[in-house]
Amino acid sequence: MAQLPLTSRRGFLRSAVVLVPAGTLAGCDTHSSAPSANSSAAPSNPAAQSSRADYKPRFFDAKEWAFLHAAVDRLIPADNEGPGAVEAGVPEFIDRQMDTPYAHGALWYMQGPFAQGAPELGYQLKLVPRDLYRLGIAAVDAYCTKAYAHPFNELDATTRDTVLGALEKGKVELDGVPASVFFGQLLQNTREGYFCDPIHGGNRDMGGWKMIGFPGARADFMDFVNQNGAAYPYGPVSIEGKRT
């Protein structure tokens, strides 16, 4: 995906939603429990209902949390069609994902040898998502500090877009992680957080669903299928039965 100008990103999201497979959230656990250091459980459901401004990250430290906000804000900026990624709770979604089996690589085959193969062979690195974020954020901040005298989150919006575009195209040499792989991980998780059910921490107030007219977890909307593109007349419903 080429880096998109702000005026076209919202249109891109309308089509990109089909790229977010339902199976990506299979590792999410919404049962109530306080996770240990090795827990794969996501925060309990009441946490998803609490004030998001009070959310405290469990995986990311303060510098990483600042990077995450600054990055997803540029990937999906707010505009007059809908909320941006920050307003939609994407950082919370990604942080909660880091405590799932998915982020620990438990759902992947992670035995060696690890070698760069043909693209059709799929992901070949020994890094799981938690590693990609930890190494990638530190490496991007180091690059930005060297190139622009400031970490990523302290750069202006235009410069942040420039850095993200360079990462996407693999034009930046990062220490410990391929730039394009890190960007791809960040972009995919940002999409997932923007369009997930709110029970997982993102898509706050179902803003992403409302923007594209998605009915959510409604029991029956078949009467409105194949209506030649007519807008769905009702608002979305979450897994918990919340409506907007």
Burial degree of 85 (CB within 10 A; 0-12, 13-18, 19+): buried
- The answer to whether residue 225 scores a pLDDT higher than 70 is yes
- pLDDT score recorded for residue 129: 94
- The answer to whether residue 68 scores a pLDDT higher than 70 is yes
Q: How big is the CA angle at 54 (ends 51 and 60), to the nearest 5 degrees? A: 125
Cα dist. 207→47, 90, 134, 137 in Å?
A: 19, 12, 29, 27
- pLDDT score recorded for residue 13: 59
Q: How big is the CA angle at 85 (ends 160 and 151), to the nearest 5 degrees? A: 30
Mean pLDDT, residues 187-206 taken together: 92
- pLDDT score recorded for residue 235: 83
Higher confidence at residue 17 or residue 54? 54
Greatest mean pLDDT range, 23-37, 43-57, 110-124 = 110-124
Give the predicted TM-score (pTM) of the model.
0.77
pLDDT digits 0-9 by tens, 134-151 = 999 999 999 999 999 999
Gap between the Cα atoms of 13 and 76, Å rounded: 8
Average pLDDT over the chain reads 80
Q: Which two tokens stand for residue 96?
A: 């909660």
Per-residue DSSP letter, 122: -
- pLDDT score recorded for residue 219: 76
3-class secondary structure, 169: coil
Kindly indicate the confidence band of residue 2, based on its pLDDT and cuts at 50, 70 and 90. Answer: very low
Task: Confirm if 216 and 197 have CB atoms less than 8 A apart.
Answer: yes
First to last CA, the chain: 32
Kindly indicate the confidence band of residue 53, based on its pLDDT and cuts at 50, 70 and 90. Answer: low
- The answer to whether residue 36 scores a pLDDT higher than 50 is no
